Structure 1
């Protein structure tokens, strides 16, 4: 997987599986005439079409990411692969309507693109393009054929993505709708089961039609739905426990006036204890274990360098009444080692990742939109 740039500050990656596109274009350019004569025009057309389809998928995923940004949810990256794409949002929204908005934003971008393509083809042909078109692709001009196929595949992408099963956008809309009546974990389980049924149905359809693309998508959908099912069941199990019941209170609050040397000495005597270091506003800025704090001091030496290094380190805080599954997602996806547990604005304890991992031996796949 290689990063090829960024869009609106979001890193954009191409997965190695996109090589399927030029490979198919090469095969199609030999097979189009039923002989070994290579069709350069067909090859160039196929490559251009596939590049346009990749752009469609990218815009679709960007729609999810922009909806997340509107709701204050960052997107770590966007990945386009040989079967579609994924926007890796840090979470999918706390409320059902947020999840629904993020999910529907992708197809909405495709609807806008579809309308633009439709009206452009009509306008460029005296508003008679679709009235006069009877399926003869090779009767069209090069650019008309390209735009028509782009319009057609964009329509397929919209309809396919709205099918009600995870990991498709329609599956996330279903999951969000069910959350008005069911706990979140159960809503995900139901939507994932629909995804498994959808995957099985596509596999059977592909076998019946003798079309290799259907089984390929079917296996992917079934696999991902199963991963979401495992994750939802794990969330349900984790939420039987509370953060307050798993946290410990072996921590020290460091005051602004405390000498650095004295804090470092205390850290050396208590390597397992966590030290809460305030920022310039007096709020919790950094949380480090004694061992980590001692190591940072050793590596930076001078007091100014040490304080600067501490200020640039990222720490995570979580309210003690937050469901444990939320903490697990950060541990699993971001490898967060520990959380400062807050009760309101006060530090109440420390939740270590290892404590949560003991309750979650398996590692299901990440949450993402396709």
Structure 2
């Protein structure tokens, strides 16, 4: 779930949220329509159209979620934002065929909605010219006609082969059928960044700031996707013990913030466990809380006044990747690493990053 989101309920057991930015969009549409037409009915219809469109976006994301569930992958939640929707899958399918199905499930929902609006006659109508003896299909000039056009546009836009759009994942899945997954991701990310450059130039040429924002978003997302996959594959066979910090200081509860600051300056340790020794840790004093405590409480205050109570525990022989994800997702400063009931180290994102840099350097040396 994204911060500042309102929970609306559950669909098929999946919680869905509304981000506060969506409320800004509703207010903007309402005011713009009122200013343009001065008609409350027109303004109300515009808001209903936006709500209907985001209902289609919710169904789009639900398509991804239900397709992923078919392959045993749960969805944490779905969030609707001003830029669209996000379904947070617990993980992406690594089987290329499964990823292809999950990626196509969202645009397929938009296609089905468009076909329903077409064949029901709600989104289009047939006009006949008796003089020329011809008939043509035209879009209805109303909310349902606009909704049909919007669903077709959503489907086309999402199939652009660039991350984070579904088309980027479709491309990656197709490439992964002929090459390894990290290489497929790098290739798909590079193609996506070429599209980002194209969006950028087009935005400059036609004077469309929105296209420039899309270009920036696609460029950053493509790079992030490539990095995350590389990282995931680099850590998949690494144990927590290989990345843990073994030389660390545990501050007693009687230590002051001033003494903690001296330890921070004296070495490379950023986050300090608090307790009566490594096996009796009662909390953690991250660097951010230390600096905040110094400013608010002064150097003579005890570390217990600024620490975060408790510390999560992981086993030394456990896999690194789930622990690393937990550190990130929950904003944890560190985890206590135990082996056979005893504390043997700390796990921090800084130490994991250093391990990854060392492994990358060693891998590069082997290729020389």
Where on the TM-score scale, by shorter chain, does this alignment land: which range?
A: 0.5 to 0.7
Q: In the TM superposition, what whole-angstrom CA distance separates every residue of 1:213-246 from its partner, at most 9, and x where no partner exists?
A: 323333322232232233234335435x632872
Aligned to 1:242: 238
Q: Distance in 2 between matches of 1:209 and 1:318?
A: 57
C-alpha distance in structure 2 between counterparts of 1:233 and 1:152, whole Å: 38
Report how far residue 84 of structure 1 moved. 0.9
| TM superposition shift of 1:197 | 2.2
Q: Which residue of 2 aligns with 1:354?
A: 347
Q: Does 1:228 align with 2:217?
A: no
- Of residues 156-165 and 200-209 in structure 1, the stretch that sits farther from structure 2 once superposed is 200-209
CA separation of 1:30 and 1:114: change in aligned 2, threshold 3 A = same
Q: Is the 8 A contact 2:124 2:137 kept in 1?
A: no
Q: Any gaps of 5 or more consecutive residues in structure 1?
A: 33-37, 249-269, 274-289, 293-313, 342-346, 363-370
TM-score (norm 2): 0.64
Quote the residue 1:120 is aligned against. Answer: 120
1:6 maps to: 10
Q: What is the SS of the residue equivalent to 1:121? A: coil
1:282-307 CA-to-partner distances (Å, cap 9, x unmatched) read: xxxxxxxx768xxxxxxxxxxxxxxx
**SS at the partner of 2:76?**
strand
CA distance in 2, matches of 1:317, 1:101: 36
1:176 is matched with which residue? 173
CA contact (8 A) 1:165 1:194 kept: yes
1:332-343 to 2 correspondences below 5 Å: 332-333=328-329, 337=335
User: Displacement, 1:76?
Assistant: 0.7
Change (3 A) 1:183 1:316: farther
> In structure 2, what is the Cα distance between the partners aligned to 1:197 and 1:325?
31
Aligned partner (choices 15, 18, 22) of residue 27 of structure 2: 22
User: C-alpha separation between the residues in 2 aligned to 1:132 and 1:94?
Assistant: 46
Query: How far apart are the structure 2 equivalents of 1:71 and 1:353?
Result: 35
Q: Which has the higher contact order (CA 8 A, sep 6+)?
A: 1
How far did residue 79 of structure 1 move? 0.6
TM-score scaled by length of structure 1: 0.64
**Where does residue 358 of structure 2 map in the other structure?**
none
State the distance in 2 between where 1:319 and 1:63 align: 38
CA RMSD of superposed structures (Å): 3.9
1:102 CA drift (Å): 1.3
**C-alpha separation between the residues in 1 aligned to 2:27 and 2:219?**
26
The alignment status of 1:68 with 2:68, answered yes or no, reads yes
In 2, Cα distance between the equivalents of 1:319 and 1:121?
62
The 3 A distance-change label for structure 1 pair 79 and 131 is farther
Q: Which residue of 2 aligns with 1:59?
A: 59
SS at match of 2:353: coil
C-alpha distance in 1 between matches for 2:188 and 2:234: 18
Counterpart of 1:46 in structure 2 is: 46
Partner of 1:98: 98
Q: Structure 2 regions of 5+ residues with no counterpart?
A: 129-133, 245-275, 283-311, 356-368
Which is worse superposed, 208-217 or 101-110? 208-217
User: What stretches of structure 1 move > 6 A for 4+ residues in a row?
Assistant: 314-320, 338-341, 349-353
In 2, the alpha carbon distance for the partners of 1:112 and 1:352 equals 54
Q: Is the 8 A contact 1:186 1:232 kept in 2?
A: no
Separation in 1, partners of 2:143, 2:120 = 13
Q: Distance in 1 between matches of 2:206 and 2:155?
A: 22
Matched length: 285
